[in-house]
Amino acid sequence: MTAPQVYTIETVASVTGGICYGNENLVVKNLSIDSRSLQLPEETLFFALVGERHDGHSYIVDLYQKGVRAFVVSNLEMIDFTIFPDVAFVLVADTLCALQDLAQNRRKSFEYPVFGITGSNGKTIVKEWLYQLLNESYSIVRSPKSYNSQVGVPLSVWNMDEEASLAIFEAGISRVDEMESLSKIIQPTVGIFTHLGDAHRENFKDDLQKLEEKIKLFLFCNSIMYCADEELVDKALKLRFAESKELICWSRNQEANLRIVSEEIKGNCTIISAEYKEETKEICLFFTDKASIDNAITCWLCLLNLNVDDDSIKERFLKLEPVAMRLEIKEGIGDCTLINDYYNSDLGSLAIALDLMNQQQNDKRKTLILSDIFQSGYTNYQLYKAISKLLEQKKITRLIGIGEDISSQAKLFKCNASFYRSTEVFLADLNRNQFDNEIILIKGARNFHFERISNALQYKAHQTVLEVNLSAMVHNLNYFRSLLQPATKLIVMVKAFSYGSGSTEIANLLQYHRVDYLAVAIADEGVELRDAGITIPIIVMNPESHSFDTMIEYHLEPEIYNQTICLEFEKALKRNGVRNYPIHIKLDTGMNRLGFVHQGLDSLLAMIVNNEHFFISSVFSHLAGADEQIHNDFTKQQITTFTKWSDQILAQFSYHIDRHILNSAGIERFPQAQFDMVRLGIGLYGISSVHQEKLMNVSSLKTTISQIKEVSKENTVGYGRKGQLQTDTRIGVIPIGYADGFNRKLSNGLGTVLVNGQTAPVIGNICMDMSMIDLTNIDAVEGDSVLIFGDDYPVSKLAAQLDTIPYEILTTISRRVKRVYFQG
């Protein structure tokens, strides 16, 4: 069967086995599963996906108001047909299966080669590098970013069209029985296995089971490419596919189609020699780390198999650039926020970047710097008309278009717009004073070299940065949500500058992902969030009476922990003429910090019952030792006490009052005590005392080597001459000190940092702005990156060196350290 190029609602119903209601002749071109991410809504088919904690049906009214007229649903009970007179619905049993069936049908229309990539690590890198290396020869459709899931794969495959001549898709799984459906959707003609690593290991019996599940992607392949040096991978592929498919491999250690002979690192280059079909081949890369070299060799094998000539291969690898795995958010000039995404340029990734832009401060103007978009499959008029509608929908204030094609369609754009023929022309005309208090998205095809624009607009500051991975934070948020009952609400702690991660950026992200409450320590933190456009409820956990008027003005909800603070807040409400204001009552069940004890409950209730000025929004308590098994009996006693006391309070009121006692550790260890709400704190930021393997690292503190010098053993290093040398030593100076949050107690060898994969001890006393490290046995040059803590060097290790907890490390990172936010 040949799938149609034009899909009507009637066709969608036929393909998915659904029942059509409404206008069956309505034509759809785009698919969506997220009410917050729409492109051209009038041409969009929305799939109302249902999960443990979300139901897409609840957003249909909102989507209708935004212009969507076509929906795939599994529940008609939530739909009032009287308010949707011009809408088409397709009723199916399972909306996710319907999405996958539709994409699988779309795939049948095309006979050009399709690369299917899987593995534990390197999928997105290999995909993007193959795109760079092959886009001179092919018109390529590929997965946007890392769209490799049960939802991401069908959305990616839907983008296949007749204009393309090659497709490259990645497929990732985290559980058993997920890959077969992805294999049927992608139906790759060529399979690529990157690497078998540790990712998602916890959901499989062992590495062999995980591997066997992953290689199910290759059921439809004619050939499979991989590295034979991974013995488990080599054996599994040969056992499963040796008789049915062509296995094409590379190796450093054994005979292979591409046999690596030598790898020589010279400065920032790696020269690789190999034998292929009894001929010597060579490429040069501007990368030196093993992961990049391995991924590049996999790409090299692909190009050789496609018969790309050697000279062209050499030239293309010399142009190979780092993959923009992430959208970086940086501080710009003139109080601007920069979002860098200057290595990807297509309509799909533009929509993703605009969504990230709209997660930021709502009060700032939004400027888009956009280059020509190539190989879109549309005429220039169609493409830029669609982009104009998208910018209008996303409320973009200003467009700066760069390139011949976008400039030729200037009349299509309704917002404030200016156009330049090239990046050089724009930079020559750049007036930095034209950018003030705005969010600037820099989005362009790589040959426009928009990194030069980013450099021109970036605020030049300290080379020490704290990188915050927003995608990791969302992963952690979703992990904790998966542990909650559907009705359980979620409060997220953003006090103390969001545990050092930054305030408004994190709050915007959490608001976008629809958490129920935010919690701050003091009123000033809440005011900052309100000024940044945060509208969801905010609890102040440590309110002070002098700030009550401000709290009422900004509608911040106080924790009430004793009678004195309750009376003071009542006075403030009377003074401001406010009635029916929410408050949160804290009970002390054993922490012996703030909170009412049992003897004070009667007088508290007497104050609040029938009080016209405030009402109890929630009653809560704080667990003292939920993260340690040794305190289990005490924690259970606290929960029992809280239940008894809160029952007494709830019995006095006719309205509903929420209850909450669980913190991050409590969510994982005491699920029976979820009550109405839970409070997520350190777990969001990647720290767990229970299941650390299920969380992703969020924050990475990085700096660089400013200077390297040889110091003879007769000399000392640092203040007080505390750095006593035993041998001639190679010293590295790094621009981070105790004023940045690098604790002075780490001096003189107690602390270590990571340089090019090796630990380097601190030498001498840590200074206010600088520290010295021992590089004697480490191959490093000035300008190399230094990791204080991060993915490869957990913050818990630094905390152990200081005999403290990760909380202290994260919250003491100075605000002068620039925060760089990214999705990746």
Active site (catalytic) residues: 495, 719
Q: How far is residue 824's CA from residue 820's CA, in Å, rounded to a whole number?
A: 12
Q: How far is residue 741's CA from residue 817's CA, in Å, rounded to a whole number?
A: 9
In angstroms, the Cα distances linking 740 to 334, 543, 599, 703, 811 are: 24, 28, 46, 11, 11
Query: Residue 583's beta-bridge partner residues?
Result: 616
Q: How far is residue 512's CA from residue 493's CA, in Å, rounded to a whole number?
A: 15
Q: How far is residue 684's CA from residue 472's CA, in Å, rounded to a whole number?
A: 9
3-state class of 342 per DSSP? coil
State the Cα angle at 16 between 181 and 347, rounded to 5°. 75
Q: How far is residue 169's CA from residue 127's CA, in Å, rounded to a whole number?
A: 7
Element (H, E) at 563: helix 563-575
Kindly report the three-state secondary structure assignment for every residue of 118-167. ECCCCHHHHHHHHHHHHCCCCCEEECCCCCCCCCHHHHHHCCCCCCCCEE
In one-letter notation, the amino acid at residue 599 is: Q
Q: How far is residue 99's CA from residue 155's CA, in Å, rounded to a whole number?
A: 8
State the Cα angle at 258 between 254 and 259, rounded to 5°. 40
3-state class of 412 per DSSP? helix
3-state class of 268 per DSSP? coil
DSSP letter (8 states) at residue 458: B
Q: How far is residue 102's CA from residue 636's CA, in Å, rounded to a whole number?
A: 50
Q: How far is residue 39's CA from residue 365's CA, in Å, rounded to a whole number?
A: 21
The half-sphere exposure of 103 on its side-chain side, counting CA atoms within 13 A, is: 29
Cβ-contact 611, 619 below 8 angstroms: no
Q: How far is residue 287's CA from residue 317's CA, in Å, rounded to a whole number?
A: 11
| Maximum Cα interatomic distance, the chain, rounded to a whole number of Å | 91
Q: How far is residue 711's CA from residue 38's CA, in Å, rounded to a whole number?
A: 60
Residues 6+ apart with CB under 8 A from 631: 624, 625
Taking Cα atoms as reference points, which of 792, 726, 732 lies closest to residue 758?
792
Residue 768, marked binder = yes
Residues 6+ apart with CB under 8 A from 747: 718, 722, 762, 764, 765, 766
Q: How far is residue 639's CA from residue 647's CA, in Å, rounded to a whole number?
A: 12
| Residue 399 neighbours by CB distance under 10 Å | 22
Element (H, E) at 331: strand 327-331
- Residue ranges at the known binding site: 593, 768
Question: Residues within the annotated binding site for substrate?
Answer: 593, 768
